[in-house]
Amino acid sequence: MTGKRTLIIAEAGVNHSGSLETALALVDAAADAGADIVKFQTFNASSLAGRTAKKADYQRRTTDAAETQHAMLQRLELPQSAHHALIGRAKARGIEFLSTPFDPKSLEFLLSLKLPRIKIGSGDLTNAPLLHSLASAGATLILSTGMATLGEVEEALGVLAHGYGGGADAPCIAAFRAAWRDPPARQRLAKKVSLLHCTTEYPCPPQDVNLAAMQAMRAAFQLPVGYSDHTDGFEVSLAAVALGATIIEKHLTLDRNAEGPDHAASLEPGDFTRMVSAIRNIEGAIGDGIKAPRTSEIKNIPIARKSIVAARPLEAGQVLGPDDITSKRPGSGRPPIEYWSLIGTTVARSCDADDQL
Query: For residues 86 and 4, which has the higher predicted lDDT (pLDDT)?
Result: 86
The whole-number pLDDT of residue 328 equals 97
> Tens digit of pLDDT for each residue in 249-308?
999 999 998 888 888 889 999 999 999 999 999 999 998 899 999 999 999 999 999 999
Task: Return the minimum-mean-pLDDT range out of 68-82, 123-137, 309-323.
Answer: 68-82
The CATH class of the 7-286 domain is alpha beta
Confidence of residue 61 (pLDDT cuts 50, 70, 90): confident
Which residues does residue 314 pair with via DSSP β-bridges, in sequence order? 351
Task: Please give the distance of CA 116 from its chain centroid, rounded to a whole number.
Answer: 18
**Could you give the CA distance from residue 27 to residue 91 in angstroms, rounded to a whole number?**
10
3-state DSSP call for residue 65?
A: coil
The whole-number pLDDT of residue 17 equals 86
Q: What percent of the chain has pLDDT over 90?
A: 82
| Residue ranges in the chain assigned as alpha helix (H) | 20-33, 45-48, 57-62, 69-76, 80-92, 104-112, 128-136, 150-161, 173-181, 183-190, 212-221, 235-242, 269-286, 295-298, 301-304, 339-342
The whole-number pLDDT of residue 1 equals 41
Residue 2 has pLDDT above 50, yes or no: no
> Tens digit of pLDDT for each residue in 208-219?
999 999 999 999
> Tens digit of pLDDT for each residue in 161-173?
999 986 678 999 9
Query: For residues 259 and 186, which has the higher predicted lDDT (pLDDT)?
Result: 186
Residue 60 has pLDDT above 90, yes or no: no
Which residues does residue 307 pair with via DSSP β-bridges, in sequence order? 328
The whole-number pLDDT of residue 166 equals 64
- The arrangement of strands across the sheet holding 225-229 comes to 96-101, 37-42, 7-13, 247-251, 225-229, 193-197, 141-144, 118-120
> Tens digit of pLDDT for each residue in 90-113?
999 999 999 999 999 999 999 999
| Average of per-residue pLDDT values in the chain | 94
Overall pTM > 0.85: yes
Burial class (CB in 10 A: 0-12, 13-18, 19+), 247: buried
Average pLDDT of the residues in 67-79:
84
End-to-end Cα separation, the chain, in angstroms: 42
**Could you give the CA distance from residue 112 to residue 140 in angstroms, rounded to a whole number?**
14
Question: What are the residue ranges spanned by the domains of the chain?
Answer: 7-286, 295-342
Confidence of residue 327 (pLDDT cuts 50, 70, 90): very high
Residue 4 has pLDDT above 90, yes or no: no
The whole-number pLDDT of residue 3 equals 56
Task: Return the minimum-mean-pLDDT range out of 71-85, 224-238, 310-324, 333-347.
Answer: 71-85
Residue 116 has pLDDT above 70, yes or no: yes
Q: What percent of the chain has pLDDT over 70?
A: 99
Residue 34 has pLDDT above 90, yes or no: yes
Average pLDDT of the residues in 218-235:
97
